[in-house]
Structure 1
Amino acid sequence: MFEPGHLHLVNLPGLGTQGLDIHLYYEVRSDSEKGPLVHFRMTGEIEGRNFEEEFELRRDTAFNFASVATRLAAKHGLHPQLGPVVRNHRDYDAMFEDIREKLSAHPGEPVDLDRLLRGD
């Protein structure tokens, strides 16, 4: 379930699925050296194990949030064969658009691919 600044992901355990209850909060911050960036805080549980993680992505790489969130969720027990942590395209698209609006970003703006590959 999406609302601006927050995505709540719930998955009940069952055949071919894994139990999870994750909250992904985000806000735009300004850094004097890095410029605008998006700060993410991910809390919740995967198969009954609690976790909390925080990460920041610069303006040009902020749209890689689902990949970073999936990698962090895998670190806490998400099975990679189940795919990305943000599976619902409607929620992903809404969050993507909200981040783009908050950053005043436009399609076609350059991305530092080296920084993207490093995960900065």
Structure 2
Amino acid sequence: MFEPGHLHLHALPGLDQQAVDIHLHYEVRHDVEKGAFVHFTMDGSIDGNPFKEEFDMPKDQAFNFASDATRIAQKHGLHPRFGPVVRIHKEYDAMFEDIRAKLGTHPGDPVDLDQVLRGSD
């Protein structure tokens, strides 16, 4: 379930998914040196095992949030065969648009592709 600044991912175990209860909170922050960036807090449980992690993404990389969230979920037990952690396209689109609006970015804005290929540091 999506609401601006928060995505709640919940799934019961079954043939095509694991037990997942994850909250992904985000907010735009500003730093004198780094400029605008998005701070994420991801917490919850996968198969009943709790976890919490925080990460930041620069303004031009924030669109790639689902990849980083999936990598973190996999680190905490999400099996890769179940695909990305943000599986419902409608929720992904809503979060993507909310982040873009909060950052004031537009299609065609420059992106550091070297950073995208390297992943978040």
Q: TM-score, normalised by structure 1?
A: 0.98
Q: Counterpart amino acid of 1:22?
A: I
Q: Show the counterpart of 1:24.
A: 24
Flag structure 2 segments of 5+ consecutive residues without an equivalent: none
Q: How many residues align?
A: 120
Shift of 1:118: 2.4
Hey, what's the Cα distance between the residues in 1 that align with 2:119 and 2:17?
A: 28
Shift of 1:99: 0.3
Report whether the alignment pairs 1:46 with 2:46. yes
**Identical aligned pairs, as a percentage?**
68
Q: Deviations over 1:27-66 (max 9, x none)?
A: 0000111100000000000000000010000000000000
Post-superposition, which runs of at least 4 consecutive aligned residues in structure 1 deviate over 3 A?
Answer: none
Shift of 1:115: 1.5
Flag structure 1 segments of 5+ consecutive residues without an equivalent: none
Q: Show the counterpart of 1:83.
A: 83
Q: Which moved more, 1:65-74 or 1:7-16?
A: 7-16
Q: Deviations over 1:52-94 (max 9, x none)?
A: 0100000000000000000000000001011100000000000
Q: TM-score, normalised by structure 2?
A: 0.97
